Copies of this chain bind each other. A is one copy, B any other.
């Protein structure tokens, strides 16, 4: 186990990097140090197959650190939001899937962090909110992934009123991938992790990259680009191995290489 004292525990096992936020004292607030620690912790390496992001305590993350912002200046504020943006975009550009495991409150930039992961598994007692308006700081950046994940009437409601939504509503709305009973959270998360590590790193990397890319194209252009991606995928080593294993009715042996 490695980690950053008081902020993160980072454990790497069998290709899965489990990053646990441990700053219970600040409700895992996204202080400058926490953001930098997370940015470092999510670095890619070739043995990595999946990242699992979780938290100690009953708050996944309460969002930006308002005390730090209060004592800062424009330069430090800008640095915080740039580091935060870097983290969000890095999660998306990482070649491996990033799973958020949520068991508790995800508020403001904490809700943004959840929404910026690829897959979200939440306990049924979790809640999600963007309450920044109440303290005069509208959740504008949390709104970026929120409006891309949650239907407009609900995201507007969350942003303009600050009211929380339940895990069940978050599932219905599309903010979480799975909502499970609290006592099944570890088990269900593990199932998701296992289904990911059973696959080829190279194939998931290609697939994740195109998934986000094509979502910002017109549908016609997405299909055109998609045909190329499929042809390339079939003809890479793990594509060939996958099809052969299917036809030969055996387990595939991945190289995990592009």
Residues of A within 8 A of B (CB): 66-67, 69-70, 74, 77-78, 81-82, 84-85, 88-89, 92, 97, 115, 118-120, 133-141, 143-145, 147-157, 159-163, 172-178, 192, 195-196, 198-200, 203-204, 206-208, 210-212, 214-216, 218-220, 222-224, 226-227, 229-231, 233-235, 238-247, 252, 254
CB atoms of A199 and B134 under 8 A apart: yes
Residues of B within 8 A of A234 (CB): 69, 77, 137
CB atoms of B140 and A233 under 8 A apart: yes
Please give me the residue from chain B that is nearest to A163 by CB atom.
Answer: B195
CB atoms of B211 and A140 under 8 A apart: yes
Q: Cα distance A174–B150 when bound, in Å? A: 8
> Counting chain B CB atoms within 10 Å of each CB, which of A152, A159, A235, A242 scores highest?
A152
- Pick from B148, B177, B199, B226: contact of A219, CB below 8 A: B148
Residues of B within 8 A of A151 (CB): 149-150, 173-175
Please give me the residue from chain B that is nearest to A241 by CB atom.
Answer: B136
CB atoms of A226 and B85 under 8 A apart: yes
- Please tell me how many copies of the chain the complex holds: 3
Q: Cα distance A119–B77 when bound, in Å? A: 31
CB atoms of A240 and B162 under 8 A apart: no
CB atoms of A207 and B138 under 8 A apart: yes
CB atoms of B135 and A246 under 8 A apart: yes
> Counting chain B CB atoms within 10 Å of each CB, which of A82, A218, A219 scores highest?
A219
- Pick from B66, B163, B195: contact of A162, CB below 8 A: B195
